Amino acid sequence: MSTLSRRLLIAVSAVVAVGVSYGAGVITGVVGSSSSTSGVIDAAADRISESAAEPVDRAELERAAVEGMLKSLGDRWSSYYDPSEYSSFEDALQGRYSGVGLWVRAGRSGVVVSTVQKGSPAEDAGLIPGDVIVSVDGWPTSGGSVGEVVQRLRGPNGSEVMVGALRAGVVSNLTLTRSVLNTSDVTVEQLADGVTRIGIRTFTRGVGRDVREAMAADPSSFAGGVVLDLRGNPGGLLDEAVEVASVFLDGGPVVSYEQRDAPDRVLSAIGRGDTTTSVVVLVDGGTASAAEVVAAALQDRSRAVVVGSRTYGKGSVQEPSVLPDGSAIEFTIGRYLTPTGRVIDGRGIEPDVLVDVAAPPEAAEQRALEVLRGLTAALPLIDEG
């Protein structure tokens, strides 16, 4: 069997899953084997290689064949990563990524810069919070979600990306060179009246641990409740999402997922979490996938009040699978269900307290604090005597 046959057979048969997916948050396992051959594909590749008017790189033919198979699925979440792309993908899951150092959110005027990482290419280029990202490499951001914008900003170390930024009515097209950046995806901020805001940008490795540590601090720091801010969070590792939900739950289901020809698998909360502190979860249209899992679990379990606008609605499960040359494919293998059996995919999570999608971020934050005050006031008094 030729190299092409082996690669394509592995691509559709016994590919080994290597973990969980950014923006999907998935499972591990092995895709079922197949005894089919790749004779037709090999014959076509041989004929093209030998007779095409222009020389054709065999590796490009292999990639085209794999991408063609994925395209036949009609699955918009399917992807092929070359070895370099997949290496960057794995780094991102570990809290390292190659990009420009921007965090963005959905705003009234479009995709808005919320944070610029110190020492990053974005800071060097002069980008500041409040700038509106109108395009990435010519692609208009109005055509996609916050998560899609983030993915387009990231790429191989040393590669260039052109960012169109709007400020004071003027668009500047800036060419930035991506670099490898390390980041903490959890921020903890002490607000007035004993309220703690815990923001999670993405569910990378260690996020669950960081949230647990934040909740293990002096209880007086969150006596007024916790705002768990998941706005603009595109998802990440499912096990980290389960760990975060577990911080606020005492056992019980967090999420399940359904697969073809297999019983639903239920993932439950780990250990005993804090079940008394008042919690509000902030969400918006950029809250997706694993972030939606957390919001839905705490909502279904009556553990938190969800405030904001309807979430993105990406409740499908992708499983990245490594091919022999270090490249990888991923495609949808199932769909998430919330603890009460709700479908997330294509529907999103409806907040308990709606905030106009066109309202500025401060409006949602203020509404979250108002809800927290109401929850705290409703708590029974504890006799410490």
Structural domain contains residue 239: yes
Q: Which of 21, 91, 135, 314 is catalytic?
A: 314
State yes or no: is 314 an active-site residue.
Answer: yes
Give per-residue pLDDT as tens, 9-46.
323 222 222 233 334 444 333 233 333 445 788 888 88
CA–CA distance, 99 with 102 (Å, rounded to integer): 8
Asked whether residue 84 falls in the same domain as residue 119, the answer is: no
Q: Between 85 and 56, whose confidence is greater?
A: 56
Q: Which two tokens stand for residue 356?
A: 């106009």
Task: Name the DSSP class of 127.
Answer: -
Instruction: With respect to residue 39, please indicate whether it lies within any of the assigned structural domains.
Output: yes
Q: What is the DSSP string of 3-38?
A: HHHHHHHHHHSSPEE-S--TTT-----BPPP-----
Q: How far apart are CA 221 and CA 107, in angstroms?
A: 30
Alpha carbon distance 156, 103 (integer Å): 18
The last residue of one of the domains, among 182, 198, 231, is 182
Classify residue 43 by burial, with Cβ atoms within 10 Å: 0-12, 13-18, 19+. Answer: exposed
Rounded to 10°, the helix 238-246/207-215 angle is 10
CA dist 378 and 297 (Å) reads 22
Tally of domains in the chain: 2
How does the average pLDDT of the chain come out, rounded?
A: 84
User: From CA 350, how far away is CA 91, in angstroms rounded?
Assistant: 32
| Sheet of strand 16-17, all strands in order from the earlier edge strand to the far edge | 16-17, 321-322, 328-330, 79-81
- Give the global pTM: 0.73
Same domain, 196 and 128: no
- CATH of residue 119: 2.30.42.10
Structure tokens at 88: 């960057």
> Which of 205, 199, 211, 79 minimizes the C-alpha distance to 151?
79
Question: How far is the CA of 277 from the CAs of 1, 12, 223, 304, 314, in angstroms?
Answer: 61, 48, 7, 9, 29
6 plus 41 within the same structural domain: yes
In sequence order, which ranges of 183-305 are alpha helices (DSSP H)?
207-215, 238-246, 290-300
225 and 80, same domain (yes or no)? yes
Q: Which residues constitute the domain of residue 55?
A: 1-95+184-379
Determine, yes or no, domain membership for 385.
Answer: no
The closest alpha carbon to 78, from 299, 346, 328, belongs to: 328
Query: Both 90 and 213 in a single domain?
Result: yes
Shared domain for 325 and 231, answered yes or no, is yes
Instruction: Indicate the pLDDT class of residue 380, thresholds 50, 70 and 90.
Output: low
**Nearest CA among 256, 259, 253, 234 for reference residue 314:** 234
Position 384 in a domain? no
Q: Please report whether residue 132 resides in a domain.
A: yes
**pLDDT score of 184 more than 80:** no
- Among this protein's residues, is 131 annotated catalytic? no
Residue after which a domain boundary falls, among 155, 182, 209: 182
Distances in Å between the alpha carbon of 103 and those of 17, 61, 183, 287, 293? Answer: 29, 36, 11, 14, 21
129-133, 238-242, 374-378: which has the minimum mean pLDDT? 374-378
Q: Which among 79, 135, 145, 289 is annotated as catalytic?
A: 289
On whether the CB atoms of residues 282 and 365 are closer than 8 A, the answer is: yes
Q: How confident is the model at residue 291 (pLDDT cuts 50, 70, 90)?
A: very high
| Single residue among 124, 157, 182 that ends a domain in this structure | 182
Question: Higher pLDDT residue, 233 or 14?
Answer: 233
Percent of the chain at pLDDT > 70 equals: 88
Sort strands 102-107 and 110-116 into parallel, antiparallel or unpaired: antiparallel
Which residue in the block uniquely carries the two structure tokens 């916790």?
226
Q: Are strands 328-330 and 321-322 parallel, antiparallel or unpaired?
A: antiparallel
- H or E stretch at 114: strand 110-116
Q: Active site residue: 229, 300, 309, 327, which one?
A: 300
pLDDT band at residue 84 using 50, 70 and 90 as cut-offs: confident
300 is catalytic: yes
* Residues 323-371: tens digit of each pLDDT: 888 889 999 998 999 999 999 999 999 999 999 998 998 999 999 999 9
Please report which helix (H) or strand (E) contains residue 143, including its range. none
Residue 349 and residue 308 in contact, taking contact as beta carbons nearer than 8 Å: no
In which residue are the tokens 């005597």 written? 385
> Does a structural domain hold residue 175?
yes
Higher-pLDDT residue of 259 and 211 is: 211
Do residue 216 and residue 302 come from a single domain? yes
pLDDT digits (tens, 9 = 90+) for 113-122: 877 888 899 9
328 in the same domain as 235:
yes
Residues 106, 308, 314, 318, Cα dihedral to 10°: 90
The residue type at 59: A
HEC string of 313-333 equals CCCEEECCEECCCCCEEECEE
Asked whether the beta carbons of 145 and 288 are under 8 A apart, the reply is yes
Same domain, 62 and 80: yes
Residues 73 and 101 in one domain: no
Compute the C-alpha angle 212/186/286, nearest 5°.
120
In this prediction, residue 31 carries a pLDDT of 37
